[in-house]
Amino acid sequence: LIQSLLHRLLKIRKRLRTTCCNLKPYTYILSSRRPLYEECLTAFYECSVVLGMRSFEELCA
């Protein structure tokens, strides 16, 4: 179970890195891409809880 959760999170992280790391979060709050922004935040928080990341910068490093 832990293994599959970790695998899922690593996939989410990979997707975050490709789709979210280019986002400048503040520019997306008011933009038409808001659902993407919110999806990135949600996925980021999931990753941060399990993988111990504290910021977008850390995720995207």
Record the pTM.
0.39
- Phi, psi for 31 (deg, rounded to 5): -90, 170
DSSP assignments along 2-60, one per residue: HHHHHHHHHHHHHHHHHHTTT--HHHHHTSTTHHHHHHHHHHHHHHHHHH---SHHHHH
Best CA proximity match to 28, nearest among 18, 38, 14: 38
Each residue of 2-29: pLDDT tens digit? 778 778 777 777 776 666 666 655 554 5
Domain parsing of the chain, residue ranges: 2-60
